[in-house]
Amino acid sequence: MPFENDITPSLRVLREGGLILYPTDTVWGIGCDATNETAVQDIFTLKQRDEAKSMVILLADLRDLMQYIAHPHPDLANILEGFDRPTTVIYDGALGLAPNVVHKDGSVAIRIVQDEFCRHLIKRLRKPLVSTSANLSGQPAPATFAAIDPLIKDGVNYVVQYRQNDTEVKPPSRIIRLHNNGSMDVIRE
C-alpha cells in the first residue's frame, strides 16, 4: 500500500498521546486518540480553539459506532448507507470518549470514514480518531496540504507523507443531527 510507511509512525505517535497531521476523505485533519483527554486538549491548544466547540470523531466501521453512542437508531445502518458523500452525524448519548470531545449536551459528531488510509489507521489503532480541520481557529480550512499553516505543521508530532502532493480539493463533510425518532436536521450542507 502506498501509505504503509505512514501507518507505523502514526500509530506510535497516537498510542503515545501525540498529534498527527493526516489526509481524510474530506480535508486534511489534525488527529489524536479520541479517548485520550490530554491529547484532545493538545489539539484545542494547537488550534487556539474554544473548548466549547466540538470536534469530529472518525470510525472505520458501522459496528464500531455502537461502542460510542448510547441509543443507536434501529435503522441506523440503512440511514448511513443512504448517504452519497462524506457525512458527519451528530448523535445523542456519547459513550467511552474523552470528555472534551463530547459536546456539553452529551452529543458527539461521528463520521464513518471511507478513505483507505484513515480506515487502515483506525482499524489498527483500535480506537476512534479525532479529526478537526488543519487550521488555526477562525481561519479557513486549507484545501490542500500546501495551504496548511506552518504553525500547524510544526505543532504536531507526525506529518503523514501520503497524499501531500494531492491537489484535488475536497469539500468538508455534510453535517446532520440524527434524532432518536429517526428525523434529521441538516447543520451544514
- For 20-91, where are the E strands, in sequence order? 20-22, 29-31, 56-59, 87-91
Q: What is the pLDDT of residue 170?
A: 87
d(CA 87, CA 93): 19
Q: Each residue of 116-175: pLDDT tens digit?
A: 999 999 999 999 999 999 999 999 988 899 999 999 999 999 999 999 999 988 888 999
d(CA 23, CA 166): 10
Q: What is the pLDDT of residue 131?
A: 94
Q: Each residue of 36-73: pLDDT tens digit?
A: 999 999 999 999 998 888 899 999 999 999 999 998 88
Q: Is the pLDDT of residue 1 over 80?
A: no
Q: Based on the structure, what is the number of domains in the chain?
A: 1
* CB contact at 8 A, 144 and 166: yes
d(CA 53, CA 102): 9
Q: Each residue of 70-85: pLDDT tens digit?
A: 988 888 889 898 898 9
Distances (CA, A) of 156 to 31, 71, 82, 94, 134: 9, 34, 35, 27, 10
| Boundaries of domain holding 117 | 4-188
The strand pairing partners of 56, in sequence order, are 109, 131
Q: What is the pLDDT of residue 163?
A: 94
CATH of the domain at 61: 3.90.870.10
User: Helix or strand or coil: residue 15?
Assistant: helix
- Spell out a b/e string for 84-97, using b for 16 or more CB atoms within 10 Å of the CB, else e: eebbbbbbbebeeb
Q: What is the pLDDT of residue 180?
A: 81
List Cβ neighbours of 138 (8 Å cut-off, separation of 6 or more).
none
Q: What is the pLDDT of residue 95?
A: 95
Per-residue pLDDT band at 182 (split at 50, 70, 90):
confident
Residue 89 CA neighbour count, 13 Å, CB half: 28
Q: Is the pLDDT of residue 86 over 80?
A: yes
Average pLDDT over residues 5-19: 97
